[in-house]
């Protein structure tokens, strides 16, 4: 395995209820790398993401995610693997009855943080990174869709993840806001966190060329091109 790889999959077969969904997957993603993940619905994109966050077990082959051995991953280890990951979805999944600060505090407490001062510092730190320090006390509905997605990215950064999985993070946003979110994710990768962004938006990919991983007919192509 490459020394700086945070995702390393070799000759992996992936099954869902005995149905082969991805075969002979080989994928290497380095620390701080930004990659796009593309593929039609049903092509195996979701299954690939599920392998990475420990929701699907691998059949054959070997794999390591952020230092965890997928072949021997136990159910008890999955929460610890997931702390190494930040996940950003298309629908923001923010708690609507809590302020932005309370949304982030909830996640920190759920992942074992107890010191109030450290919690407050970490929340301010991640909101600073996404340009929303001033929105601390706002409710989610009081900020724009783009700002809500920035909060979600801040939430994903709370535990200093090695990998961010962004699943259609711009799906509900206008083109200009989508570009802002993509630039933010690129910036995060430049600070050393690997980012995998699943998207159907080829205009974004053309605007910000990066390595492309494509799922097609149960095969993962590590260095794909878009036409």
| DSSP letter for each residue of the chain | --TTEEEEEEEEEEEETTEEEEEEEEEEEETT-EEEEE--TTSSHHHHHHHHTTSS-BSSSEEEETTEEGGG--TTTHHHHHTTEEEE-SS----TTS-HHHHHHHHHHHTT---HHHHHHHHHHHHHHTT-GGGTT--GGGS-HHHHHHHHHHHHHTT--SEEEEESTTTTS-HHHHHHHHHHHHHHHHTT-EEEEE---HHHHHHS--EEEEEETTEEESS----
Tokens describing residue 35:
């990659």
Mind listing the pLDDT tens digit for each residue in 16-38?
Answer: 888 888 999 999 999 999 999 99
Residue 2 confidence class, pLDDT cut points 50, 70, 90 = low
Q: Is the dihedral of CA 42, 91, 185, 160 positive or negative?
A: negative
pLDDT at 138 over 60: yes
Would you state the pLDDT for residue 57?
A: 84
Can you tell me the mean pLDDT for 76-97?
89
Would you state the pLDDT for residue 224?
A: 86
Mind listing the pLDDT tens digit for each residue in 45-59?
Answer: 888 999 999 988 887
pLDDT at 93 over 70: yes
Domain ranges in the chain are 5-221
pLDDT at 125 over 70: yes
35 close to 209: Cβ distance less than 8 angstroms: no
pLDDT at 116 over 50: yes
Q: What is the CATH number of domain 5-221?
A: 3.40.50.300
What pTM was computed for the model?
0.92
76 close to 68: Cβ distance less than 8 angstroms: no
Q: Which residues contact 138 (CB under 8 A, 6 or more apart)?
A: 99, 100
Q: What percent of the chain has pLDDT over 70?
A: 98
Can you tell me the mean pLDDT for 75-86?
92
Would you state the pLDDT for residue 133?
A: 94
pLDDT at 1 over 50: no
Would you state the pLDDT for residue 3?
A: 64
148 close to 100: Cβ distance less than 8 angstroms: no
pLDDT at 153 over 70: yes
């Amino acid at each position: 395995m490459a020394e700086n790889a945070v995702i390393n999959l070799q000759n992996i077969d992936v099954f869902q209820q005995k149905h082969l969904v991805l075969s002979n997957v080989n994928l290497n993603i380095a620390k701080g790398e930004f990659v796009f993940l593309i593929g039609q619905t049903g092509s195996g994109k979701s299954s690939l993401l599920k392998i990475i966050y420990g929701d699907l077990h691998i059949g054959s082959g070997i794999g390591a995610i952020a230092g965890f051995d997928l072949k021997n991953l136990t159910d008890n280890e999955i929460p610890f693997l997931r702390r190494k990951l930040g996940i950003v979805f298309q629908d923001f999944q923010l708690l609507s009855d809590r302020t932005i600060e309370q949304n982030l505090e909830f996640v920190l407490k759920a992942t074992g943080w107890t010191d109030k001062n450290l919690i407050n510092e970490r929340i301010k730190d991640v909101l600073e990174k996404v340009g929303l320090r001033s929105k601390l006390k706002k409710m989610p509905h009081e900020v724009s869709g783009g700002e809500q997605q920035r909060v979600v990215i801040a939430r994903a950064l709370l535990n200093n993840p090695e990998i961010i999985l962004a699943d259609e993070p711009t799906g509900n946003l206008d083109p200009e806001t989508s570009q802002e979110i993509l630039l933010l994710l690129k910036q995060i990768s430049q600070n050393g966190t690997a980012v995998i962004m699943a998207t159907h938006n080829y205009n974004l990919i053309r605007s910000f060329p990066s390595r492309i991983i494509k799922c097609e007919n149960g095969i993962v192509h590590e260095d794909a091109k878009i036409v």
